[in-house]
A and B are shown apart, each in its own frame.
Chain A
Amino acid sequence: MNEHHSSTAPLGSSGGHAPILDRLAQRGLLLGGAGLIGGLGLGLLSEGGFQRFMGSYVIAYAFVLAIALGALGFVIIQHLTRAGWSVTNRRIAELIASTMPLLALLFLPIVLNHFVSAHPVHPWANSEFAHSDPLIAKKASYLNTGFFLVRWAIYFAVWVGLSRFFLGTSLKQDESGDPRLTIKMEKMAAPSVLLFGLSLSFAAFDLLMSLDPHWFSTIFGVYYFAGCMMSFFATCILLGKWLQKSGAIGAGEITTEHRHDLGKFMFGFVVFWSYIAFSQFMLIWYANNPEETGWYDVRQNGAMGYFSIALIFIHFVIPFLGLLSRHVKRHPVGLPFWACWLLFAQWLDLFFIVVPSVQQWMNHGHADHGHGDAAHAASHAADHAHEVFPFALSDLLTPIGLAGLALFFFARRARAVALTPKLDPRRQESLSLQNI
């Protein structure tokens, strides 16, 4: 039914692509090392010192985690919907998701920070302080380091388990071609999507929302999810493009049609992010409750105010208009350009979430005014933060560092396996994908 039967397209050139991925791994390691060392060095030199660096680290961590979670969600949804179009792109997603063990390892600095530092990046992790602040004290049964650890152990059990299951089963099918494995993955996808959704939502609360433990937003998990999917699609487009260009993936295996569809999804999640971000904002704006507006207050005023306006344009208006046309989504340069743009936008969004809260709570331990006066001190810190734009170079370098490490991990994992599922029963359907 398709115009050019692509059944002659080469099957995954297994083995032949190892040197290419070794090159990728090398670059990733280089990037990772340079980024991390630079980020840590500059972070320590900056005004906030180590505490400020931990803010950068949370940005970086949330950035890389978002891509891996987006990939895992994508794989699950493809199986859940029995999608045929995406089969040749699915391996890339499976491999990105399988960086989860590395992410578990990279989470340790945050845990360590909770235990060692007197001013941990999550202010509630200092239990003495948490109990001195009446608003946090009420939440202490959830926001405490012990329970936090238990929750993250569960999240990683879910994420590592699911990513291993889907990659492992898919690799098994590469050898046997058994269509029953596809059915097995489809059956597993239904409970997986529940686990995935819940764990992602709570992880977003724990990692990002609780940076300002006074504030709460029930939609926050969905907000992070939107960023996860968008940054995953951007990464998938870029990695697919690079791997194909360097010859690791055959010319007919990922086509303009696939990239068009990935582009549509990426565009869709640009809009979805805006929809969710606005839904969160509008309800808080309308209700005008001090306990909720505080979060926007530090982001709307002073130097951050311009940044927040810029975020609307960089994360929504400009890419919305840029990606609207189908010609752009099918363009060999246009689409990767917008993928890069949106990865940058995702970084901006995380900066927007993390830094003002870190600045605001930076001095929470120094609140010597006694009992119950912590919020007061925090607002003083916020007043100070208004004067200068709170950017530190480590906010940019640390994400590059962690992304480099993740790239290294991805490449090491990918060098030994086929980069597209070789014997998936829907492979042919995927190869002959046509957009109207």
Chain B
Amino acid sequence: MHAKAHSPAAPAERARPLYGVIAEYKDVDSLMAAARKVRDAGYTRWDTHTPFPVHGIEGAMGFGMTRLPWFVLCCGLTGLSIAVLLQWWTNAVDYPFLISGKPLFALPPAVPIMFELTVLFSALGTFFGMWGLNGLPLLHHPLFEHEAFKRVTDDRFFLAIESQDPKFGLESTKALLASTGVCADVVPVYGNGDKGALPNWMKNFAIVMPILLLVPLAWIVTARHSTSPKTRLQLIPDMDQQLKFRNQTRNAFFADQRNERPRIEGTIPRGLLREDQQLHTGKTGPGENDWATQFPASIAVNEALLKRGQERFNITCAACHGQTGVGDGLVSQRATGKYPSWIPPISLHAENLLVQPVGQTFNTIRNGIRTMPAYSQQLTVEDSWAIVAYVKALQKSQAFPVDKLSPEERQKVASVPR
């Protein structure tokens, strides 16, 4: 700016509101001494400005304690409460879902979220609380009108007293500051009314943006409470519409347009040949009670089969029937007290089961009985026969007379903890 252009502006400058007076210092010690002096003179609306944080300045300026910690404490407790409510409501009330037998709501898994939300809310509270208490964001400050103030980011220290201070007097305050270790004249600073106001575009943005943010929310709410015949929005179409035929859909390739093809009469699909009736059904005839009393010819009853049967039994059956077959499996034990409608499995050593034909036992495993579900999807035919063999062995073991045991075997039985 040229000097000529500057001078006519001088009277106008005086018409601008007086912000306060500013004093300039060369080093921290002078500033600290001045701050103590201003503090002791009883000023309340003033501030110091330094290129870097100065330890101890708040003492020299006589700062009281900030209210921020209380604000942060409240934020933290809010976060903690929200975390508890959120988890309790979603997991135990709104959408209860049992996961591996854990309680619907328990503190141990909730604690990490409680911890995180407490920290998050505290951190946000600290950050924005600090902004709020400091009157931020501040786009402009009257002190920026003072040319020498630019050095505050470099190598100069400033102390400014506001004209709003009840103790303020232009001459008296200037005299007080001049008596400190200033390195330049103490001068008044005038504000610039227009500068520092929020630009219009920012105001508009601040109004429009939150409204725009509500649009997707409103969209979701509408969609949740309305129906539409239109296909939903497909973001990845080739994943939604793959080149394949789905169950129960039309297929124009065939004359009857059925996608699922019926079996062609007189044929058997590969792997579905059921030639040996006894092997696959446990029956030897067409009658309802034609149960096989022998194992099928293709199943060799030997130790390997029993071992396999034991393994499958302990995996598939023991959860309810118990490993000895008396019906004390862990699932049954737990369910008995918990659910009144639970019917415990009968003992595999019941009288009628001891004389039951192997074919009928096999049928029970394959197709289920009463409340016991079918296990034909979980077990192969061979494994089902292996389990039948093992159950038969188990039944024999429970009714074996002790005096027929060899001494070693007796010793072994006695050492099992009860």
User: A residues near B, CB below 8 A?
Assistant: 1-3, 278, 281-282, 285-286, 288, 324-326, 369-371, 373, 376, 434, 436
Contacts and interface: CB of A to CB of B under 8 A. Distances in A.
A325 B56 contact: no
A321 to B, nearest CB: 10
Contact of B56 (A1, A285, A288, A371): A1
Interface stretch (B104-112, B180-188, B298-306): B104-112
A436 B60 CA distance: 12
Contacts of B75: none
14 contacts: A1-B28, A1-B56, A3-B32, A3-B60, A281-B108, A282-B112, A288-B100, A325-B69, A326-B69, A369-B417, A371-B415, A373-B417, A376-B417, A436-B55
Interface string B48-66: 0000011110111000000
A95 to B, nearest CB: 29
A50 B54 CA distance: 61
Contact of B108 (A286, A370, A376): A286
Nearest to A283: B108
Nearest to B101: A288
Given A1-B54, A370-B415, A282 B108 contact: yes
A324 B417 CA distance: 54
Contacts of A288: 100
Contacts of A326: 69
Contacts of B108: 281-282, 285-286
A2 B56 contact: yes
Contacts of A282: 108-109, 111-112
Contacts of A278: 111
B417 A1 contact: no
Interface string B21-57: 0000000100010000000000000000000011110
A85 B55 CA distance: 13
Contacts of A3: 32, 56, 59-60
Contacts of B111: 278, 282
Q: Which 8 pairs between the two chains have the least Cβ-Cβ distance?
A: A434-B55, A3-B56, A285-B108, A434-B56, A282-B108, A3-B59, A2-B56, A1-B28
Contacts of B28: 1
Contacts of B55: 1-2, 434, 436
A376 B418 CA distance: 10
Contacts of A324: 73
Contacts of A370: 415
A157 B53 CA distance: 45
- For chain A, what secondary structure do more than half of its interface residues adopt (helix, strand, loop), or is it mixed? loop
Contact of B109 (A1, A286, A369, A373): A286
A421 to B, nearest CB: 22
B259 to A, nearest CB: 45
Nearest to B27: A1
A5 to B, nearest CB: 10
A133 to B, nearest CB: 14
Interface string B71-106: 001000000000000000000000000001010000
A435 to B, nearest CB: 8
A282 B112 CA distance: 9
Contact of B58 (A286, A325, A436): A436
Nearest to B55: A434
A34 to B, nearest CB: 42
Contacts of B54: 1
A324 B73 CA distance: 10
A288 B99 CA distance: 13
Contacts of A286: 102, 108-109
A326 B32 CA distance: 24
Nearest to B29: A1
A23 to B, nearest CB: 37
A371 B111 CA distance: 42
A371 B414 CA distance: 13
A393 B415 CA distance: 40
Interface in B217-272: none
Contacts of A369: 417
A193 B28 CA distance: 38
Nearest to B54: A1
A324 B72 CA distance: 12
A282 B114 CA distance: 14
Interface in B166-210: none
Given A1-B55, A324-B73, 18 more contacts: A1-B28, A1-B54, A2-B55, A3-B32, A3-B56, A278-B111, A282-B109, A282-B111, A282-B112, A285-B109, A288-B100, A325-B69, A370-B415, A373-B417, A376-B417, A434-B56, A436-B53, A436-B55
A81 B415 CA distance: 62
Interface in B101-149: 102, 108-109, 111-112
A366 to B, nearest CB: 16
A327 to B, nearest CB: 8
